[in-house]
Amino acid sequence: MSESESENKIEFTISIVTNLWRRLYNRNARQFELSVSERRVLVAVDLMPNVSQSTIALYLDMEPQNLLRVIDRLEAGDYLERRSTPDDRRVKTLHLLAAGKKIIKDIYKFGNKFREVAFRDIPTDKLKQMELTLKNIEENLLTANF
């Protein structure tokens, strides 16, 4: 295998594993009776309390109009609520409600079990190194001038 083929292989491997992870995770997470987008928004709001809708749209790479529909459904289901900010009433922040907090716990519990299967037989030090490496790649890409 040439050096060029080896370099391209990692991109392919990352893509394959990411797609497989997403497909299997989503197939097995149907128990929550929420769409993939709804789960992603709830998790993002949990990880970034008081986050604005526009920040969530950027973070999740969602079109604002699509995000609004997802938020509308989550708000109708009493999972979260929008609040105006004191500085600018046009800016809405998102906040989990009791039902959202409960389902987030269930989603995280499911995620822990999923990771146990995915990371079986992989030593902890290798997983930590992988996470650091992926964070370095993320930072490199975020600061790149393409």
Give pLDDT, residue 30: 84
Which residue has better confidence, 6 or 36?
36
Q: What does the pLDDT look like over 102-119, one tens digit per residue?
A: 999 999 999 999 999 999
72 sits in the region (left: phi over 0; alpha: psi -120 to 50; else beta) called alpha
Q: What does the pLDDT look like over 8-32, one tens digit per residue?
A: 788 899 999 999 998 998 888 888 8
Token pair for 134: 């992926």
DSSP state, 63? -
pLDDT greater than 90 at residue 65: yes
Q: Is the separation of the CB atoms in 36 and 27 below 8 Å?
A: no
Residue type, 14: I
Give pLDDT, residue 34: 92
Predicted TM-score of the model (pTM): 0.77
112: Cβ contacts below 8 Å, ≥ 6 apart: none
Q: Is the separation of the CB atoms in 82 and 92 below 8 Å?
A: yes
pLDDT greater than 70 at residue 3: no
Give pLDDT, residue 12: 92
